[in-house]
A = this chain, B = another copy of it.
Amino acid sequence: MRWAEAFIAVDWGTTNRRAYRIDESGECAAEFEDDRGILSLAKAEIPAEVEAIRARLGDLPLLLAGMIGSRNGWVEAPYAPCPASIDDLAARLIRVDDRTAIVPGLSVVEHGRADVMRGEEVQMFGAHVAELIPATCLVCHPGTHNKWIRLDDGRITSFRTVMTGELFNLLRGRGALAELIGGDVSPGEAFRAGVKRGSEDITLTAELFTVRAQVLLDQLAHGDAASFTSGLLIGTDIRLGLGMAGAAELIVMGRPELTGLYAAALAEAGRVAREVDGEAAFLAGATAIAKKIR
């Protein structure tokens, strides 16, 4: 097969997808992004969508990662259990046909808790292979669902998902805080105050209501409410992450507009975190996995 040569890698999520043609030299030669995530597509529409990607980027082997491999996606690629290496992932690829493969997600069950990921694992192994991150570290991967991922000697050993982004969006959409927190979030004083409060031993569902009360009682400016609330949510999030970090190096990987907020929050908690671009990591990971396909 021609997997070791040019191929197409797709990070196909719930609401968006990004597709890249990766040429023989490992460079991204063409790409596009759109909002045809799996939520917007019926299962029966997906084969035609896959062929449309080839029509656009080239008639090449296709490696799909992300929610496309979930039960609600196209063809289910069962989770690989942690600890898992890139070889474990490659060994469990689901071959839709001899030139179309789906990357499985990862699962972890520990301390009576279950967790799952789909898509971030490609970035993790890619960042490691490309030496963007060390073989042992804790990676924070912000998004609708933030992930804290332990990499130990190149294997993913554990992770936790935090619904920070989703909760913030739900609160902005409807309910008692919606009219207060629709504004932009910036990592200034109000955000840092939120992070500080969120990092303490608080009850988040109570602390969120104080945002409304503080605005009503003129203790918090209306214009600061979005940043304070974002800080509150991210503060509780990094409190969990710092508990997993120990002395390991901290990395924040993902889209730059989100990694910046988490890096600022970690700085407020006294920890330096290096920011890594998630797209470069995805391309490196997809390329490394494709090379393992025969």
Q: Is A210 an interface residue (CB 8 A)?
A: yes
Q: Is A150 an interface residue (CB 8 A)?
A: no
Q: Is A294 an interface residue (CB 8 A)?
A: no
Residue from the list B201, B204, B216, B219 in contact with A205, Cβ < 8 A: B204
- Bin chain A's interface residue count: 35 or more
Q: Is A167 an interface residue (CB 8 A)?
A: yes
Q: Is A209 an interface residue (CB 8 A)?
A: yes
Distance of A145 Cα from B209 Cα, bound (Å):
9
> Which of A113, A204, A206, A237 is the most central at the interface, judged by chain B CB atoms within 10 Å of its CB?
A206
B79, A217: Cβ atoms closer than 8 Å: yes
Residues of B with C-beta under 8 A to A173: 170, 174
Interface membership of chain A positions 163-175, coded 1 if the CB is closer than 8 angstroms to chain B and 0 otherwise: 1101101110111
Interface membership of chain A positions 99-136, coded 1 if the CB is closer than 8 angstroms to chain B and 0 otherwise: 00000000101000111100000000000000000000
Q: Enumerate the 9 nearest inter-chain pairs by beta-carbon distance, A residue then B residue, closest first.
A: A114-B213, A203-B240, A161-B209, A170-B170, A114-B214, A162-B206, A116-B213, A163-B205, A114-B217
